[in-house]
Structure 1
Amino acid sequence: MTHRFRLVVAALALLLGSGGAALAQSLPDYMAPISGKTTSTPADIATKDVLALNTGMFELYGDAARIFQKNILDKHPVILGLFSGAGGRLILYRPGKPPTEAPQVPVVYQLLKSVGHSTMALAEVVGPYVNNPDDKAWRGSMQAYRSRMQSALDGLDATPMQADWRDNNRAILKNNIAFMDECLTAGAIPFATLEAFGKKQAPLLARNVAWAAQTQVAHWMTVMADWKTQLGADWDKTYGASNTIYVARQNNVIFSVLAQFFGPDAINSRLMLIETISFTTTPSDMLESLTRIIADRSVGALFFGSYHLMDYELMGGDAREAIIAETKKRGITTFLPPLVPFGSKQWPTLITPGPGPATIADLK
């Protein structure tokens, strides 16, 4: 149907965009709304023809990428690490075998995060109304959330959580409810009340963060140790990739776990951290990204003699020189990071130490 529509449109374009006044005058009335004379200069046509090469390249690349991906998966094991609200997903692809998805992180991880997020969400709910007693728009959503909070507290003892962790989460939920009751009774949200609430919850939340991290890391370390044993000698040709958005790049949990098994020599070579536009992505999108990275390396080696050239912005080096020249012309101090060689094994996120807290523990 789509192909047929395109043919009709193309035919109409040829019919209505060509010919002189005689043709336009001979058209029936029902063609009038879409008829008209088009004009194109030789330069317009030439520019369009050249730009079409780049547009067509993407279609050709897509066709080739499907073959490249099959070839890669036929020769190399691949481990994908994907972010999820359940503590992530790890998927192992082995040549000649169906993909293996690892067991999920124990559900206590999700319970710890859910309780912690409930507290953080309260700050989002009340934020627009702090020190604004005349606006009561927050009351309905807070009352509804309070009901959910109470249900979670009432059923907490039945959750699969060890006793001391449960006590901590009970305290968090009770503090949440007390804060909401105080605001609802007062009909206002003074900043002093919100600030006191934040300080009271901080040490309890820090414990939840630590326990969730320990649960997640222990689980994935066990999975990775088992997979590395299974792969044996094939481990040295295994590729790995995990995804991240901007806020999760630093101290990325899944990538950091993968790195413990791949080792420093695999960083940015066989183990990649791929930025995505949302927290979650799909295995197919990750495989597509990984395939493109690997395929582009061969192209870089073919044309420029550097296997890792295409891991970098191709125009970046020349653009750097252009920026230096342009800032000099404008009397601006050039501000650029140091040059990094192609094929660098450097950790793919911020690594320069400096003053200031770097962990929650540092904030105490």
Structure 2
Amino acid sequence: MSPNRRSVLSGAAAVGAATALTGFTGHSTSAYAATATATATGVPATAAGSVAESQARNNMLAVDTSMQNNYDTLRAQVINQLNPVIVVDNDGTGGTYYLVSKGTVLETVQPVDPVFALAKSIAHTPLGIFSICAPSLDPTNILTSQAQYIDPHDLQMVAFNGPGNTSWISNLQAFSATLDTARQTLASANLPADANGSLYDSCRYILDKAHAYIATAIANREFDMQSFESFTADVYPSVRTNMYWASRVQIDGVSALMTRWRNQLGSAWSGLYVVVLSIWTTYVQNQNSIILQNFMDQSQVATHLINLMTAETPTDPVHVSLDNLARIVQDNIAAEMVFVSDQPTADALKGQPDLLSTEILQLLGSGATTAGTAGTAKAAAAITKGQLTQIACPFHNRASTLKV
């Protein structure tokens, strides 16, 4: 079998190292090692043993500090080479899109029709009620149908006031007033309809049912799981109609923009990088990523579509995206050159696993779990292969994995 690039370079590296150690003119291997140590510490070899441990360790750490400084310099330079790049801030409008070339934003667009935000806003009504009343749930009253889905400890963390507390009433009254105002003016919002349903009708039903539910809860001065579940089950078909409209206008808007930018960039499109910023709850099955991958060069999706999870929406999404993308791009090259003799380690540097993960798992033994890492990797792989057809956001119903 003919040697590949990795085996050849690995062998060359080994030969070079052996020559350096044994062929150092005028010195034995041990003498060479002592000289190397002295050079690294800045202390004559004869005095190296007298250096304090703290100083010796600081000298070691200085190597990494210097590396990090040079790494940062390279990253800053790479940022200004990245081209073309699309950055997507997965915000409440359906996404703010930035077309970037060599560190410069060429165009900023919010391509999704306002219907997206309108549909989601009313669909979030049940979550709004829950957010106000949840602290006064009874943690001991878990419905049989919910027991398999709800962690009792999680419930205790959320239901921290307990059922005797009615502080939720005033806040729920205020929320109800907001809902009622939206309902009174709903007919003037000029909402769309087609064979899949009327957005006006679904919003009207959600708002009317929410008004009735809130009125009953306030009159009874009680918020319980069973009545709330009955309410959410009743409005769920209407929530799904809203989900349809949010999804449809997002697909239409993003598709139109991607078609225009693809025509504008021409042949450069094949090297396109896409970075989608989103919070954890929308990170894996992100709407924008699902749509975007259909417009990218399919041979590049696995490496050029980056789903970047953030704790919150960054103040400067473009800088955060380019900074992380530069790291990824330069690590892709560094991995193949630094870990030339070990492809799995090179792949780790190029990907999401920590470089020490393999060693740690081996040391922990067969009982160690990689559930978190494997789960993330599997999800990411599914995105790149175009296997995800679901849409995600913080609002969810446990009866369905589809989120709006």
Residue identity opposite 2:192 in structure 1: Q
| Change over 3 Å in CA distance of 1:280–1:351 after alignment to 2 | farther
Which residue is 2:167 aligned to? 137
**Of 310, 314, 335, which aligns to 2:349?**
310
**Of 125, 129, 135, which aligns to 2:132?**
125
| Change over 3 Å in CA distance of 1:259–1:327 after alignment to 2 | same
Residue identity opposite 1:123 in structure 2: F
Which residue is 2:234 aligned to? 200
Range with bigger deviation, 306-315 or 228-237: 306-315
**Of 128, 134, 152, which aligns to 2:182?**
152
Residue identity opposite 2:71 in structure 1: Y
Structure 1 residue 59, shift from structure 2 partner = 3.4
Measured in 2, the distance between the counterparts of 1:335 and 1:345 equals 16
- In the alignment, structure 1 segments of 5+ residues that lack a partner are 1-40
Structure 1 residue 70, shift from structure 2 partner = 1.1
Pairs within 5 Å for 1:69-84: 69-72=79-82, 76-84=83-91
Contact 2:290 2:383 (8 Å CA) reproduced: no
Structure 1 residue 111, shift from structure 2 partner = 0.7
Which residue is 1:161 aligned to? 191
Pairs within 5 Å for 1:48-59: 48-59=58-69
Measured in 2, the distance between the counterparts of 1:302 and 1:258 equals 31
| Change over 3 Å in CA distance of 1:230–1:351 after alignment to 2 | closer
| Change over 3 Å in CA distance of 1:166–1:358 after alignment to 2 | closer
**Of 235, 243, 249, which aligns to 1:215?**
249
Measured in 2, the distance between the counterparts of 1:116 and 1:270 equals 33
Pairs within 5 Å for 1:279-318: 279=313, 282-305=317-340, 310-312=349-351, 316=355
Measured in 1, the distance between the counterparts of 2:64 and 2:102 equals 34
Structure 1 residue 323, shift from structure 2 partner = 2.0
**Of 54, 58, 64, which aligns to 1:44?**
54
Measured in 2, the distance between the counterparts of 1:308 and 1:66 equals 23
Structure 1 residue 152, shift from structure 2 partner = 1.1
Structure 1 residue 86, shift from structure 2 partner = 0.8
Structure 1 residue 56, shift from structure 2 partner = 4.2
Which residue is 1:8 aligned to? none
Q: TM-score, normalised by structure 1?
A: 0.74
Residue identity opposite 1:222 in structure 2: A
| Change over 3 Å in CA distance of 1:192–1:358 after alignment to 2 | closer
Measured in 2, the distance between the counterparts of 1:322 and 1:174 equals 56
Which residue is 2:362 aligned to? 324
Structure 1 residue 192, shift from structure 2 partner = 2.7
Measured in 1, the distance between the counterparts of 2:248 and 2:72 equals 41
Measured in 2, the distance between the counterparts of 1:196 and 1:358 equals 16
Structure 1 residue 245, shift from structure 2 partner = 3.0
| Change over 3 Å in CA distance of 1:351–1:292 after alignment to 2 | same
Measured in 2, the distance between the counterparts of 1:315 and 1:139 equals 48
Structure 1 residue 122, shift from structure 2 partner = 0.5
SS at 2:276 equivalent: strand
| Change over 3 Å in CA distance of 1:335–1:53 after alignment to 2 | closer
Structure 1 residue 349, shift from structure 2 partner = 9.2
Measured in 2, the distance between the counterparts of 1:268 and 1:207 equals 32
| Change over 3 Å in CA distance of 1:115–1:319 after alignment to 2 | closer
| Change over 3 Å in CA distance of 1:244–1:268 after alignment to 2 | farther
Structure 1 residue 44, shift from structure 2 partner = 1.4
Aligned length: 308
| 1:278 matches 2:312 | yes
Contact 1:87 1:110 (8 Å CA) reproduced: yes
Contact 2:89 2:277 (8 Å CA) reproduced: yes
| 1:114 matches 2:92 | no
Measured in 1, the distance between the counterparts of 2:226 and 2:383 equals 42
Structure 1 residue 267, shift from structure 2 partner = 2.2
Which residue is 2:142 aligned to? none
Contact 1:238 1:270 (8 Å CA) reproduced: yes
Range with bigger deviation, 52-61 or 244-253: 52-61
Residue identity opposite 1:48 in structure 2: N
- In the alignment, structure 2 segments of 5+ residues that lack a partner are 1-50, 139-161, 389-397
